Amino acid sequence: MSVDIVVDSIYLEKLKLRNDWIFITGFPGFGYVGTIATRYLVTQLRAEKIGNIITKYMPDFIAVEDYGILTPYELFMSYDNKLLILVNNATPVNIERVVFAKTIVKWAKSLGVKEFILAGGLNSRFKEGNERLRWVKTSVSSRELPEPKFHKGLYVVGPLAILFLTLEVEKVPAVMILPYTEPDRFDPKAAAVFIEKVNELLGLNIDVQGLIEYSKAVEEAEVLLSETLKNVEEDRRPKPYI
C-alpha cells in the first residue's frame, strides 16, 4: 500500500531547524469540523503550503486557491508558530487508513514533532448541560483541559480514530478535541470552538469571528432551503377547484 509524503525541496532544510513542532490535523467527519478548522487555521496564520500526501487510491480532484493548487491532502507550515498543519479535504479510503496514519506519525516523529492536536466532532445528542466540547489524550500526554473528558460509552470512528490509536501505540503525546456538532451539518461554529481551545493551549490569538459569521450564513441558507423545499412541496399538492 503506497502512501507518500512529498515535501517541496525548498522546505526540507527549514523543517529540520526545529524539533519542537506541533502537528494539527482533522478529517471531514462529523460537522466537517476537522477540515473547516484546519483550513481556517492555515488561512489566518498565512501558513505556507509545503507539500502533499499522495496515496494510491486518493480522490481525483484539484482546485485553485489563493495559495496555489488545492489537493486532497495538504501539508502546511507556520514556522514562527511551530505548527505543521495537515488539511484533509477528503477522507482516505478504508483500505489506506492504517498506512495513512502510520506514514504521518513516522514522518512527524522523524522531524521531532512533540505533540499532535486532533480536531473532530462529537454528536450533540450526547451533550450534557452547557458544555461545548469533550476531549481525550494519549497516555503519554501531560495535557489537562478543564472541560469534561471523553467518557465510557462514547466512540470516535473513522480515520481520526485510527490516527489516535497509532499515536497511542507509538507513544506520541496527543490530545483530541471534540466540539459538539450536528453530524450531517457543515458546522463552522463547532470549528470555532476548536480554534478557541487551540488559542488557549498554544497562546495564539486567532480571531474566530469569520467562522461565527460563516456559521450564521450557513444557518440562514439552511432556513431558506427548508422554506423553499416546503413551498415546492406545497405547490406539488393537488389543489381544490370550484
Which CATH fold topology does 3-207 show? Rossmann fold (3.40.50)
Reported as a pLDDT band with limits 50, 70 and 90, residue 232 is low
Residues 6+ apart with CB under 8 A from 135: 145, 147, 149, 150, 175, 176, 177, 178
**Region of poorest pLDDT, from 81-85, 165-169, 210-214, 221-225:** 221-225
Q: What residue has cell string 423553499?
A: 228
pLDDT digits (tens, 9 = 90+) for 141-182: 999 999 999 888 888 999 999 999 999 999 999 999 999 998
- Give the HSE-up count for residue 122: Cα atoms under 13 Å, Cβ half-sphere: 25
The radius of gyration of the chain's CA atoms, rounded to the nearest angstrom, is: 20
Length of the chain: 242
Query: Has residue 229 got a pLDDT over 80?
Result: no
Query: Has residue 123 got a pLDDT over 80?
Result: yes
Query: Has residue 219 got a pLDDT over 70?
Result: no
Query: Has residue 221 got a pLDDT over 70?
Result: no
| Domain map (residue ranges) of the chain | 3-207
Confidence (pLDDT) at 239: 53
Residues β-bridged to residue 88: 73
The bridge status of strand 73-78 relative to strand 83-88 is antiparallel
Task: Round the average pLDDT of the chain to a whole number and report it.
Answer: 91
